[in-house]
Structure 1
Amino acid sequence: MTVPGMLSRPLAAWRRRPRPFAWMKRFLPRTLFGRSLMIIATPVVLAQAIATFVFYDRHWDTMTNRLAFAVAGEIAIIVDELLEDRSEEERASTMARAAGAVDLFVSWLPGETLPPGRQELRGILKTTLGRALDERVRRPWRIDSTVAHEWIEIRIQMDEGVLSVMSPERRLFSFTSYLFIMWMIGSSVVLFAIAIVFMRNQIRPIRRLAVVADAFGKGRDAPGFKPEGALEVRQAAAAFLLMRERIQRMISQRTEMLAGVSHDLRTPLTRMKLELAMLPDLPEVAELRQDVADMETMIEGYLAFARGEGAEAPQPVDIARLLEAVAANARREGAAVTLDLPAETAGEDGGKDEGADGEAGIILPIRPNAFKRCLANLVGNARRYGSHVWIGLRRDATAVEIVIDDDGPGIPPDRREEVFRPFTRLEPSRNAETGGVGLGMTIARDVARRHGGDVVLGDSPHGGLRAIVRLPV
């Protein structure tokens, strides 16, 4: 098989071709809800990041530069005025005018000196202010933001002392950045909240469709389901309902047809049995009677396989009690059966020990008659070829497993799948001796799969064959 237009490249080779960015799938959300939110959130986050970059690159940097250079320029004017003032009264008058006009509180520290060396600054505010002081004041300086809350002290080295200038942070810092950040975060939270609400409403119909499809695959009914949600989801739900109706109609038609076939075949077989009963007991007549009996057995087995108990409704069943009934029936037929149930379900004779509330340990919605036939076929196959049968029950978080072991000859691994084919007998002579027609294992797997499970074969620790019936929880 080749794909048209792809240079006759084989389809298998094309599928094996490495896909670019395949590694990214490990980091992507696995649910549709998570991926939808990611699709919504990614453009929003990118837009917010770009807006933030533009804001800090333009607004923050520009405004900080303007404010810092304005303060540095005012400090330079104060320094020049103080250099011209000769008396203490003139200096006090200059500092008072600065406090009232430019909102800078200036004090004179005579005889003090600043530490030698240039101060290391951190942060955009101090860095910008230091650059402005170098350009405008051109004297040694020190910046201290820990003197008082929301105040910054700027010390300038003078000839006869140190000039201390207290500037409020609002003169150097634009508080619109906080508003911008709060607006961005608030708007993002609101957008995400709205997106989550809408996406949950859109995902809910898809989840309901998945639950109904899973229940139908397990042979369970899901009444009350109707298409809802977006147009595409409604189309998928309507297609599923139509498919379910067709499958149920096909099963019903098959059952009705086989009921008629059963009547039509049984009538001539009954006449043949009556006619053979009136004949003398000759060897040829005995052989004909055996042939008619074999035909009747084969027809019954085929009808049981094709019917599949399709009309039986699922109901909650205690699996432990069902296993007890199957084991009891096998014992009545002369089989040696050992029933091993979990401690929380095992009672006397391997049965269920109910608690005070009377609830069973492992309850699943199954078709009891059909599933009992499945187990009876597997147990019957085990007792047919072995001298002892072991039945076990185990459960994990996702499935319930029923294990049936025997000590017979077993089946080679490469031929185990053949036994599930209708009317397939690995050893015709031995099947003839035991009365098998090659439908027991087929019916067992058919019933298990109609419940959403399966039947698999393996090696038994007792030397024979192990059959495991898996049912989803």
Structure 2
Amino acid sequence: MAPDIGPSALGPDPAWGDEPEARPAPPAWTRRRRWRGLVGAVLRPLVPRGLLARSLLIVLIPLVVTQGIALQIFYGTHLDIISRRLAGGVAGDVGMVVELLSRYPVQEERGWIFREAAWRLELSLAFEPGAYLGRPAARPASLPLLPLEEDLENALRERVRLPFDTDWQSDPRSVIIRVGLPDGVLHVEAPRKRLFSGTLYVFVIWLVGAASLLFLAAALFMKNQVRALRRLAAAAEAFGKGRDSGPIKPEGAAEVRQAAAAFNGMRANIRRFVAQRTEMLAGISHDLRTPLTRLRLGLAMLPADAQEDAAAMTGDLEEMERMVASYLAFARGEVLESPVPTDLVALVREVASRSAADGPAVAVEAPDSLTLPLRADAMRRCLGNLIGNARRHAGRVAIGVRLAPGWAEVSVDDDGPGIPEASREGAFRPFASFSAGGTGLGLTIARDIARAHGGEIVLGESGMGGLRATIRLPI
């Protein structure tokens, strides 16, 4: 047996050390990438995907954070200080009244103190002689002590230094303070406006109102920008599906207008290029008819002993003429035809009924109707090519029309030998599928027509045992 020469046989590596901890840590950029990936995995489901929602979120988050900081600073510092000072003022007034009552216990002096407190301090006073201030009732758990109440109790505890309790529930406009004196209980009714500053409401209303107006203006502005982008995207998608609705009007921000102008220029260049190429090839195909006619005439004038060779050459000329005629028909339709709303089911049934003259009837399975923007003549040519190919290689042909999510599908099935999976894509190349009675351009032209509609043609296995050619058209 061969000796063990694995890592355990070689012993510890002096470069890496014995323990895993001795290995160097991953580089900083690797750690940052992992961290960014973790953060992205957490935040990605929470972030909206639309541009409008993301833009509004970018505006909303700073507004909310700014308001939160402003409210915290105002409430935690300024309002807290004001609340403590107001509570200290009320507690000081109550303490002053208690001290005066202790120094001047005479009934006449007590009346004067009550009148002066009501006029100068806005405190309503009443004295209950011989009463005793019992233990304050336990506060319900559903009514926690508010910061303002806590400030007042702290101030009374510091300024009065006598047993007391407060009642915030009996009167919504005032707070009742009861102070236990040696000869009775003093009832003090203080207005709540002396304990509370209304600037908080003004500040919050101003802050929230201004932020709401700013957010509304930003939302309207971003909506206009996104609307221009959506129109641009819709125009690009329609143009890709062969539904050219003309140039779009540039609107929105300068960058959006620039993108719209670039799209209009691209659209015009593509249309001009396609039109020039199609017209040029159509012209070449048309010009080929002249030499083909001369060749046919020359073959007809050959001597009788050369007619056998002339017959084979005549067959080749006929194949060439069919190819030229097929491409001319395709090019003529591409140049002149524009998409219009067409009932696809009616068009399929029409093509199937016309093809019945060349063989057995074609079975059609389809819904009642399905209207799509189509180049009707081009689509007839596309279906005719597929049905013609199927008839040349099979005995039975069937057509099915069905709806798929976002697509309309037209399938042409046959019971012929089919095409091997590895050769299906190559069958769409020009002249790759050339056979007797065909031009070699049928599948090529059919795919061009489908792609001009924004769709595609795919080949697959048929349920009838042969080939299935499926046209997919966007809805």
Q: Residues 132-147 of structure 1: matches in 2 within 5 Å? A: 132-147=155-170
- Given candidates 221, 237, 240, the residue that maps to 2:260 is 237
Other-structure match for 1:382: 390
- 338 and 75 in structure 1: CA distance in 2 versus 1, 3 angstrom threshold: same
- Given candidates 134, 155, 158, the residue that maps to 1:114 is 134
1:272 matched to 2:295: yes
Opposite residue 287 of structure 2, the aligned amino acid is: D
1:341 matched to 2:366: yes
Q: Deviations over 1:269-326 (max 9, x none)?
A: 1122223234438442322222222222333445556667133122221112111111
Opposite residue 465 of structure 2, the aligned amino acid is: G
1:166 matched to 2:168: no
8 A contact 2:351–2:383 mirrored in 1: yes
Other-structure match for 1:447: 449
- 294 and 122 in structure 1: CA distance in 2 versus 1, 3 angstrom threshold: same
Name the CA distance, whole Å, in 2 between partners of 1:381 and 1:298: 14
8 A contact 2:333–2:377 mirrored in 1: no
Other-structure match for 1:398: 406
Name the CA distance, whole Å, in 2 between partners of 1:421 and 1:155: 101
Opposite residue 289 of structure 2, the aligned amino acid is: R
Q: Normalized against structure 1, the TM-score is what?
A: 0.83
Other-structure match for 1:22: 40
1:423 matched to 2:431: yes
8 A contact 1:453–1:471 mirrored in 2: yes
Other-structure match for 1:54: 73
Other-structure match for 1:332: 357
Q: Residues 170-181 of structure 1: matches in 2 within 5 Å? A: 170-181=193-204
Other-structure match for 2:60: 41
Q: Residues 93-108 of structure 1: matches in 2 within 5 Å? A: 93-108=112-127
Name the CA distance, whole Å, in 2 between partners of 1:17 and 1:158: 71
- 159 and 383 in structure 1: CA distance in 2 versus 1, 3 angstrom threshold: farther
What is the DSSP-based 3-state SS (H/G/I as helix, E as strand, rest coil) of the residue aligned with 1:309?
A: helix
Q: Residues 232-311 of structure 1: matches in 2 within 5 Å? A: 232-279=255-302, 280=304, 282-303=307-328, 309-311=334-336
Q: Normalized against structure 2, the TM-score is what?
A: 0.83
What is the DSSP-based 3-state SS (H/G/I as helix, E as strand, rest coil) of the residue aligned with 2:179?
A: strand
1:367 matched to 2:375: yes
Q: Percent identical across equivalent pairs? A: 47
Shift of 1:117: 8.0
8 A contact 1:402–1:469 mirrored in 2: yes
Name the CA distance, whole Å, in 2 between partners of 1:49 and 1:404: 65
Q: For structure 1, which segment, 444-453 or 36-45, has the greater mean C-alpha deviation from structure 2 after superposition?
A: 36-45
- 156 and 292 in structure 1: CA distance in 2 versus 1, 3 angstrom threshold: same
Say what the alpha-carbon RMSD is for the aligned residues: 2.7
Q: Deviations over 1:162-215 (max 9, x none)?
A: 332222211111111001111111111211222223223333332222222222
1:68 matched to 2:68: no
Name the CA distance, whole Å, in 1 between partners of 2:227 and 2:407: 25
8 A contact 1:252–1:311 mirrored in 2: no
Shift of 1:67: 0.6
Flag the structure with larger Rg.
2
Aligned residues, how many? 436
8 A contact 1:389–1:406 mirrored in 2: yes
- 146 and 445 in structure 1: CA distance in 2 versus 1, 3 angstrom threshold: same
Q: For structure 1, which segment, 163-172 or 399-408, has the greater mean C-alpha deviation from structure 2 after superposition?
A: 399-408
- Given candidates 420, 431, 435, the residue that maps to 1:432 is 435
Shift of 1:224: 5.7
Opposite residue 408 of structure 1, the aligned amino acid is: G
| Structure 1, unaligned runs of 5 or more | 1-12, 346-360, 426-430
Other-structure match for 1:3: none
1:79 matched to 2:98: yes
Shift of 1:328: 0.9
